Amino acid sequence: MSAPSLLPLAGRRLPALNLGASSFPHHRATLRLSEKFILLLILSAFITLCFGAFFFLPDSSKHKRFDLGLEDVLIPHVDTSKGGKHLGGFLIHGQGHDEHRHREEEERLRNKIRADHEKALEEAKEKLKKSRDEIQAEIQTEKNKVVQELKKKDSKPLPLVPLPNLIGINGGEPADPDIREKRNKIKEMMKHAWDNYRQYGWGHNELKPIARKGHSTNIFGNSQMGATIVDALDTLYIMGLHDEFREGQEWIDKNLDFSVNSEVSVFEVNIRFIGGLLAAYYLSGQEVFKIKAVQLAGKLLPAFNTPTGIPWAMVNLKSGVGRNWGWASAGSSILAEFGTLHMEFVHLSYLTGDPVYYNKVMHIRKLLQKMDRPNGLYPNYLNPRTGRWGQHHTSVGGLGDSFYEYLLKAWLMSDKTDTEARKMYDDAIEAIEKHLIRKSNGGLTFIGEWKNGHLERKMGHLTCFAGGMFALGADGSRDDKAGHYLQLGAEIAHTCHESYDRTTLKLGPEAFKFDGGVEAVAVRQNEKYYILRPEVIETYWYMWRFTHDPKYRQWGWEATQAIDKYCRVSGGFSGVKDVYSSSPTYDDVQQSFFLAETLKYLYLLFSNDDLLPLDNWVFNTEAHPLPVLHLANTTLSGNPAYR
So which residues are the catalytic ones? Answer: 268, 401, 510, 535
Rounded to the nearest angstrom, the gap between the alpha carbon of residue 225 and the centroid of all alpha carbons in its chain is: 11
User: What's the CA gap between 183 and 604, in Å, rounded?
Assistant: 8
What DSSP element (H or E) covers 511? strand 511-515
Output Rg (C-alpha) for the chain, integer angstroms: 30
- Report which DSSP code applies to 525: G
The 10 Å CB-count burial string (b at 16+, else e) for 345-369 is bbbbbbbbebeebbebbbebbeebe
DSSP character string of 78-114: -B--TTSEEETTEEE-TT---HHHHHHHHHHHHHHHH
- 282 CB-near residues (< 8 Å, 6+ apart): 163, 164, 166, 625, 626, 627
* DSSP character string of 571-601: TEE--BS-TT-SSPPB---B-HHIIIIIHHH
H helices present in 239-329, as ranges: 242-255, 266-268, 275-284, 287-300
What are the Cα distances from residue 581, in Å, to 459, 506, 534, 567, 570? 21, 11, 21, 13, 21
Which of 463, 492, 479, 474 is closest to 545 using CA atoms? Answer: 474
Asked whether 557 and 540 are in contact (CB, 8 A), the reply is no
The count of C-alpha atoms lying within 13 angstroms of the C-alpha of 462, restricted to the half-sphere facing its C-beta, is 23
Q: How far is the C-alpha of 360 from the C-alpha of 370, rounded, in Å?
A: 16
Closest CA to 405 of 494, 503, 472, 475: 472
Among 224, 196, 223, 222, CA closest to 211:
196
DSSP letter string, 25-43: HHHHHHHHHHHHHHHHHHH
Q: Is 435 helix (H, G, I), strand (E, B) or coil?
A: helix
Which secondary-structure segment (H or E) carries 47?
helix 25-56
Residue 621 marked ligand-binding: yes
387: left (phi over 0), alpha (psi -120 to 50) or beta: left
**334 φ/ψ angles, rounded to the nearest 5 degrees:** -105, 130
Residues annotated within the binding site for Ca(2+) are 621
